[in-house]
Chains A and B, each alone.
Chain A
Amino acid sequence: MRAKVAASRLGLAAVLLIGWEAGARAGVIDPFFFSRPALIAARLTEWFSTAQIWRHVGLTLLEALLAFVIGSAAGIVLGFWLGRWPLGAAVAEPFLQTANALPRVVLAPLFIFWFGLGIWSKVAFGMTLVFFLVFFNTYRGVRSVDRVLIDNARLLGASESQLLRHVLMPSALGWIFSGLEASIGLAMVGAVVGEYLGATGGLGYVIAQAEGLLDTTGMLAGMTLLAAVVLAIAAVVGRVERHLLRWQQPR
């Protein structure tokens, strides 16, 4: 079964790539608009041979990482806090809803205006994306803890901080992690969109430069690299998640 799936996936990828390449060479697909896999691969090889590209990858990763860490820390803290404090949650709700309803992309120019072309405008932008997702997941996680688990722990003598540690945190962890992969994606979106709109480096900057030159190959090579980076991070997160949530799987 697993071998079959792997083989089919490889087969599908090969069909798509070879079809694309052949179509472009045969003139069915216009390489000016769509490029072709061989060109993209060549461009990636060229980038990595000069090592220039690492600066851009590193910059984007740093921005995304900072946005992710700060955004999720803020989201988790506020999520727990409001999750355990119904009055505060009721007061804050319309504000949070309004802020969340705003399509965040429009904030990017404002952040560049405020924080300049350096990394902090991208971090701030990514943060606003990550924060809400993590906050809502944490809040839901804290609120959805089975009442019986809380009552049972309290009757067994748990203090509020023990309740947090033994009951609420582990319960919310599942919800937080269910949003973690998405929030890493969002942190990358924040970094790349910020770079795209105004920066001096980063993968978004690379893609924007290629766009300015109508260089489809450069754009697609940048996107390929971006996707690879996000997938690599997701794999690491998946591992951490499986370890921390091992209680969810029956053996």
Chain B
Amino acid sequence: MYRSQKGRYNKMLTPAALQFRQTGRAFGPRLAVDALNLTVAAGEFVALVGPSGCGKTTILNLAAGLIEPTKGEVESFGAPLKGLNPKVSYLFQQDALLPWKTLEENIALSATLSGRDGRDEAREWLERLGLEGFGDYFPAAASGGMKKRVALAQQWIPRRPLLLMDEPFSALDIHTRQRMETELLQLWDEDRRTVLFVTHDLEEAIALAGVVCVLSAGPASTIINSYRIDLPRPRAIADLRLDPRFQDLYRNIWNDLRPEVLRSHAG
């Protein structure tokens, strides 16, 4: 989609983490996504923004292999997707922690499932996330921010090359949210794995991503434009909104997004 030198170079070396080609998905008579063309280059942090109900979650579910396209195809790292995508971690919008496992057990879930003892690793993560002493809490007793941290660790640990994130921070208050965004970027800076991040919040998209793609309002939504976000990293999330370059980008992308948001409200 975007046309930067670096992007093209990457594409030639390694197959894209995700490649949607004329992909469409219908639910009964309702076409959620149509004629979607999207390339997520390996190592890229891509944000999808669009009005609510525009099929963002459908795109992630297609990428994870949880649902199959009704039109076109989806490729991941050069191979067409059949069934679940073994290369992804998926941070769902809803709470996906197992309520009957403690926070520590939830962090260690991928280790448990592969027959390893992940307790030491889980404890390290608890410490790292500032959750020492909360390891034996059940999710019902944890705050929204704590649960999100644990969920992020749970998904980060298996070291899958592609991380899908579905409005992960939308339910958090603004301060917790900015802290989580900062923590996410710190994590991401360590190994720069590929991220496909879905949000309806344009500020969040610009603050985090290297590429922002704008989705049209549903039904039958598709990508109408994409922008390279060349803000330097590491980024200071809390101050970024005051940066004139940030504001320019925001204004540009918002021009694309605004009619879609209006359209989605009209419909």
Given A162-B113, A248-B99, A148:B140 Cβ within 8 A: no
Contact A248 B113 (CB under 8 A): no
Check: A149 CB closer than 8 A to any chain B CB: yes
**Is there contact, CB below 8 Å, between A157 and B92?**
no
Task: Say yes or no: is B141 at the interface (Cβ < 8 Å to chain A).
Answer: yes
Tell me the smallest distance from the CB of B201 to a CB of chain A, in Å: 21
A170 to B99, CA, bound (A): 9
CA distance A148 to B60 in the complex (A): 13
CB-CB contacts of B131-173 with A at 8 A, as 1s and 0s? 0000001111100000000000010001000000000000000
Complex interface: stretch among B14-22, B83-91, B237-245, B251-259: B83-91
Which of A151, A167, A171 has a CB less than 8 Å from the CB of B92? A151
Q: How far is the CA of A170 from the CA of B96 in the complex (A)?
A: 15
Give the shortest distance, in Å, between B168 (CB) and chain A (any CB).
Answer: 13
Shortest beta-carbon distance from A112 to chain B in Å: 43
- In the complex, the answer to whether B158 meets A157 with C-beta atoms within 8 Å is yes
Is B98 on the interface with A (CB-CB < 8 A)? yes
**Cα-based distance from A157 to B158 in the complex (angstroms):** 10
Task: Decide yes or no whether B48 CB sits under 8 A from chain A.
Answer: no
- B114:A157 contact, CB within 8 angstroms: yes
Complex Cα spacing A149 to B158, Å: 17
The 6 A-B pairs at the shortest CB distance, nearest first, are namely A152-B96, A170-B100, A247-B138, A247-B100, A250-B141, A250-B140
Q: How far is the CB of B142 from chain A (nearest CB, A)?
A: 9
Q: Which of B60-87 contact A (CB under 8 A)?
A: 64, 66, 84-85
Q: Which of B98, B110, B138, B141 contacts A157, CB < 8 Å?
A: B110
CA distance A162 to B96 in the complex (A): 16
How many A-B Cβ pairs are below 8 Å?
A: 65
What's the least CB distance linking A22 to chain B, in Å?
50
The one of A149, A155, A159 in contact with B64, judged by C-beta atoms closer than 8 angstroms, is A155
**Which A residues lie within 8 Å of B92 (CB)?**
148, 151-152
B residues less than 8 Å from A171 (CB atoms): 100
How many chain A residues sit at the interface, stated as a range, is: 20 to 34
Q: Does A9 contact B (CB under 8 A)?
A: no
Alpha-carbon distance A162/B98, docked complex (angstroms): 13
Is B84 a contact partner of A154 (Cβ separation < 8 A)? yes
Within 8 Å of chain A (Cβ to Cβ): is B112?
yes
- With a cutoff of 8 Å between Cβ atoms, the chain B residues found around residue A167 in the complex are 98
Docked complex Cα distance between A153 and B109 (Å): 8
* 25 intermolecular pairs with C-beta atoms under 8 Å apart: A148-B95, A149-B98, A151-B66, A152-B92, A153-B98, A153-B109, A153-B113, A155-B66, A155-B85, A155-B88, A156-B154, A157-B113, A158-B113, A166-B98, A166-B112, A170-B98, A247-B100, A247-B138, A247-B139, A248-B140, A249-B140, A250-B138, A251-B137, A251-B138, A251-B141
B225 interface residue (CB < 8 Å to A): no
CA distance A170 to B109 in the complex (A): 15
With a CB–CB cut-off of 8 A, which chain A residues contact B85?
Answer: 155
Query: How many angstroms between the C-alpha atoms of A156 and B118 in the bound complex?
Result: 14
Query: With A and B bound together, what is the CA distance between A156 and B100 in angstroms?
Result: 17
A246 at the interface (CB under 8 A from B): yes
The reply on B94 being an interface residue by CB < 8 A is: yes
Contact A156 B98 (CB under 8 A): no
Question: How far is the CB of A225 from the nearest CB of chain B, in Å?
Answer: 38
Tell me the A30-85 residues at the B interface (CB within 8 Å). Answer: none
- What's the Cα separation between A173 and B100 when bound, in Å? 10
- Contact (Cβ within 8 A) A155 B100: no
Q: How far is the CA of A26 from the CA of B99 in the complex (A)?
A: 59
